[in-house]
Chains A and B, each alone.
Chain A
Amino acid sequence: MRPGMFLGTLLAGLAVLAAAISFLWTPYDVTQMAIADKLMPPGAGHWLGTDHFGRDILSMIMVGARVSIAVALVAVGIGMGLGVPLGLIAAARRGSWLEEAIMRGNDLIFAFPSLVIAILITAIFGPSAINAIIAIGIFNIPVFARVTRGGALPLWTLDYIRAAEVSGKGAALISVQHILPNIANLLMVQGTIQFSLGILAEAGLSYVGLGAQPPTPSWGRMLAEAQTMVTLAPHVAIIPGLCILLTVLGLNLLGDGLRDALDPRLKVMR
C-alpha cells in the first residue's frame, strides 16, 4: 500500500471508528451543559475542551461524525441506487432517444449549483438531516450516471458482450452480469469521492442551519456556533474544522489510492 492510501485509510478509518464508538460510549452526554466549565481549553478533564455551553467537544465530535457519515453514506446510496441503473440503461440503449433523455436530464441537474438547490429543498420542506440527505443525494445521481455510462460504453464493444448476445441474453441481463462487475472498481472509487463531498456538503448545510437540528451535534453547526468566539477560544472552531478537513482529505486520498490500485493501466506506468 502506498503512503497516500495508507494515510487516507487511517484518517477515514478514524472518523468511522469515532462514530461507531459514539453509539456505545461518549466521554460526556452531548446534551449536558455546564456553564461553569464553558470554553475550557483541551486538558485532562475534557480532552478537547468544552464549548460556550460547557459541552464536551470530544463527545460532540464523535456524535457529529455519526451524523456526517450517515448523511454522506445515505446520499451516496441514493446517488448509486438511481444513478448506476440510469447509466447502465443509457449505455445499453446508446444512440437512442432514451440515452439522450437520461444524459440531458443529468445535464439539467448539473446546471444548478448544488448548494442553492439544497437550500431550496430545505426551505420548502424545512431544515432537517433527512432533507439534507435527499438534497445531497439528488446531486450524486448524475455523477454516478455519467461514470457508469462512461465505463460501460467501451465494454459494450467487446466480444464477450457479443458472445452473451449470441447466447440470447438481453441488455438488462448483460448489464447486470457482464457490465456491472467490470465497472465496480470505477464505482467504488467514485463512491469514495462522493462520500467525502457528501461530508463537506453536510457540514456546509449545517453551517447555514439547514442540516441536522439542535440538539443533535454536527460538525458544520459546531463551526457556525464557534465563529463568534474564535478570538476568545480558537480551539472550539479549530477542532471541528480540522475534523472536516482531515476526514475529507482522508477519503480523497483513499479514493485516489483505490483508483491507482485498481486501474491496471496506471499499474503498468509505475
Chain B
Amino acid sequence: MIEARRLSVSINGTAILQEVDLQLTPGSITGLVGESGSGKSMTSLAIMGLLPRGAKVSGQVTLDGRDLLATSEAEMCRIRGNRIGMIFQEPMTALNPLMNIGDQVAEVLRIHHRMDRAAALARAREKLDRVGLPEPRFPLTLFPHELSGGQRQRVAIALAIAERPDLLIADEPTTALDVTTQAQILDLLAGLVRDEGMALLLITHDLAVVAGIADRVAVMKAGRIVEEGPTEMLFRRQAHPYTRALFAASRHAPAGTGPAGEKDPLLQVQGAVREYRLPGNAGVLRAVDEVSLTIGRGESVGLVGESGCGKSTLTRAILGLDPLQSGNIRISGQEVSAGRSMPRELRARAQVVFQDPFGSFNPRWRVERLVAEPFHLTGYPPGWRNRVGAALEEVGLSPGDARKYIHEFSGGQRQRIAIARALIIRPDLIVLDEAVSALDVRVRAQVLDLLADLRRSHGLAYLFISHDLSVVRGVTDRVLVMQKGRIVEDGLAGQVIGAPNHPYTQSLIKAMPRIPEGWVAA
C-alpha cells in the first residue's frame, strides 16, 4: 500500500502542495479531481520522486512502510516502473516512434529483470494481449504511427503494467481520446485493478469520469485536498463549497437558450463533398460526404462527432478556407468560395473561435491589434480602438487590457479575447470549433454563459463543434451528429441526447461518462 502523509512541496518558496494525505490501497481506484494548476500532477510526481530541481518536499510517502522520500535516486529508479507505473495524457508522444511496440514493452522487462530478448518479447506479447491488442491484428512489430490514439494509449498502459506495479498512476489518461475510446480505456483500467490487485490513482478534471470508476475521490484545490471520501458519499454530500462549485459548473447549462431560431436560413450547406488524395496509391478519402445542413438566423446548432469524422474539414469549407469538390455552401443566399474569390462582405458574415487558447494568437501582437484583425475585411473604421475596448468589455474584460500582450492572460481570458475578435465586425454566424474543450469546468461554465448572453444581445447564430455531447447539450437548439463524413442524425438537442435514433448516436450517448442521477444532491 502507498500512502502520502502531510506531503508538502514548495518550489522557490511558493507552496505547490500543502499537507496532502492520500491512501492508495491495493485493488482500489482513487480519483484525484481538480482544475488545472491545482496540484494534481505535482502530487503524482512527488509520489514518484520526479519533482523538478529546486523543489522542497516535506511529509512522508510510504510504500509498504518504507519512506520513499528518504530513498536514494538509484533505489527510486528500481521502484519506478517496477512498483509504480505511470501513464500520461498524450499517447502520441508517450511512445518512441522509432521502436516497435513489442520492443518498447520488452525493454522495460529487460532493464528490470535482465531477461533475454525472447523471454521479454513473450511477456510483452502477454501484456499487449491483456490490454486488448491481441494477435494477429496487433503483431509486436507494429510501430506507434500505425496505431490510433486509443491503441497507443493501450500500449502505454501495457508499458506501465509490464512489471505488475503496486500502484498505477494515470494522469488524464482519456482526455485526449474520443468518448467511445475513453469508455474502453476506462473499462480496461478498471479490469486491470480488479484482476491484478493494484492501486490506481486516476487524475482527471472530469467528475463524470471518476463517478463511473473510482472507489474514492479526492478533490484538490490550490495544492490542498479539500474533500476526500468514498465516491458516492462524496458526490451526495459535497461538504466543501469548492466541491459544490465544481459540481454545479460541470452540470451547468446557460439559462434561456430555448429554440429561438428564426425560420429564415442563414447558413445552407448542400451536398458538400470534400476529398483528399491519400499518400501513395491508396485512393481518396472522402472526408465530407454529401453533407447538407441548414442553420437559421440566431440559431445555435451543435455538430458532434469523433476525431476524423470530417467536422474540421467541413468547418474549413464553411469558413471559405478550403474549396469543395461538389455541392455548395451559402451564407444569406450568397455562395461561399475558397480563397481570394470570396467577397469580403461575405467573409465578414462568419467568424470563428478555436479550441486552443494558446495557439490562437500571435504572441508578438498586442491584444488591441489581435482583436482588431478582422477589420481587415471591412476596413478599419474611425475610432476602431474604441470598438476594441467595447468588444473587450462585452466579453467581460476591461478596455485597458487592449495594451497588453496575450501571454499576460489565462486560458479562459484568452478564449474571451478570441470571442471579442470574432465579434468585432458583428458577424451573423460564429463557428465555435471546440471552443470550450480546453477550459476547466468553472471557466467553461462562465464562457458558455457569456456565449448565451451574446447570442441573445446580438442575435448571433452559432455552429458549435465538439466531440463532447455533454457540452453541446446545454447550449444548442439543434444537434447534428457526424460519422465518417456524413451527418447521421439531425434533431432537437434534447431529443438527440434523450432518445437517439441512429446506432452511432446511441453508442456515443452510451459511452458518455455521467454522474448517476440519484447521486447528486439537489
Contacts and interface: CB of A to CB of B under 8 A. Distances in A.
Interface of A: 158-160, 162-170, 177-178, 181-182
Contacts of B374: 166-168
Given A158-B359, A168-B344, A170-B340, A163 B321 contact: no
Give the one of A167, A170, A178 with max B CB within 10 A.
A167
Given A159-B354, A181-B362, A182-B363, A166 B376 contact: no
B347 A166 contact: yes
Nearest to B418: A163
Nearest to B406: A160
B356 A159 contact: yes
Contacts of A159: 354-356, 359-360
A163 B352 contact: yes
Given A181-B364, A182-B364, A166 B352 contact: yes
A155 to B, nearest CB: 9
Contacts of A158: 359-360
Interface in B306-336: 319-321
Would you list the 5 A-B pairs with minimal beta carbon distance, nearest first?
Answer: A159-B354, A159-B360, A167-B374, A168-B377, A159-B359
B319 A166 contact: yes
Contacts of B354: 159, 162-163
Contacts of B373: 163-164, 167, 169
A202 B383 CA distance: 54
A166 B321 contact: yes
A163 B354 CA distance: 8
Given A159-B360, A166-B350, 15 more contacts: A159-B356, A160-B359, A160-B360, A163-B360, A163-B361, A163-B418, A164-B373, A166-B321, A166-B347, A166-B351, A167-B373, A167-B374, A168-B374, A168-B377, A182-B362
Interface of B: 319-321, 340, 342, 344, 347-348, 350-352, 354-356, 359-364, 370, 373-377, 418, 421
B372 to A, nearest CB: 10
Nearest to B421: A163
A160 B351 contact: no
Nearest to B363: A182
Nearest to B427: A166
A252 B355 CA distance: 41
A170 B370 CA distance: 16
Nearest to B360: A159
A169 B376 CA distance: 7
Contacts of B352: 162-163, 166
B83 to A, nearest CB: 29
26 contacts: A158-B359, A159-B355, A159-B356, A159-B360, A160-B362, A160-B370, A162-B354, A163-B354, A163-B360, A163-B361, A164-B373, A166-B319, A166-B320, A166-B351, A166-B352, A166-B374, A167-B347, A167-B375, A167-B376, A167-B377, A168-B347, A168-B376, A168-B377, A170-B340, A182-B362, A182-B364
Provide the main secondary structure of the chain A interface: helix
A218 to B, nearest CB: 40
A162 B363 contact: no
Nearest to B347: A168
A61 B320 CA distance: 61
Nearest to A180: B364
Contacts of B342: 168
A147 to B, nearest CB: 18
A201 to B, nearest CB: 33
A247 B376 CA distance: 47
A158 B350 CA distance: 19
A166 B351 CA distance: 7
Contacts of B362: 160, 177-178, 181-182
Nearest to B352: A166
Contacts of A162: 321, 352, 354
Nearest to B319: A166
Nearest to B431: A166
Contacts of A165: 319, 321
A61 B469 CA distance: 74
A242 B418 CA distance: 56
A164 B374 CA distance: 8
B330 to A, nearest CB: 18
Contacts of A182: 362-364
A166 B429 CA distance: 13
Contacts of A170: 340
A52 B340 CA distance: 68
A168 B425 CA distance: 12
Nearest to A165: B321
A177 B365 CA distance: 10
**In the complex, which of the residues A163, A170, A177 has the most CB atoms of chain B within 10 Å of its own CB atom?**
A163
Contacts of A178: 362
A167 B378 CA distance: 9
Nearest to B373: A167
Contacts of B376: 167-169
A30 B418 CA distance: 63
Nearest to B343: A168
A242 to B, nearest CB: 40
Contacts of B344: 168
Contacts of B319: 165-166
Contacts of A160: 359-362, 370
Nearest to B346: A168
B371 to A, nearest CB: 11
Nearest to B354: A159
Nearest to B372: A167
A8 to B, nearest CB: 26
A169 B320 CA distance: 12
Contacts of B364: 181-182
Contacts of B356: 159
Nearest to A179: B362
A170 B344 CA distance: 12
Contacts of A164: 373
Contacts of A181: 362, 364
B409 to A, nearest CB: 14
A93 B344 CA distance: 22
A265 to B, nearest CB: 14
A166 to B, nearest CB: 5
Contacts of B320: 166
A64 to B, nearest CB: 39
A69 to B, nearest CB: 30
Contacts of B340: 170
Q: Which of B320, B340, B360, B375 has the most CB of A within 10 A?
A: B360
Contacts of B355: 159
Contacts of B347: 166-168
Q: Which of A158, A165, A168, A178 is most buried by chain B, counting CB atoms within 10 A of its CB?
A: A168
A170 B359 CA distance: 20
B434 to A, nearest CB: 11
B351 to A, nearest CB: 6
A34 B17 CA distance: 78
B506 to A, nearest CB: 33
A162 B362 CA distance: 11
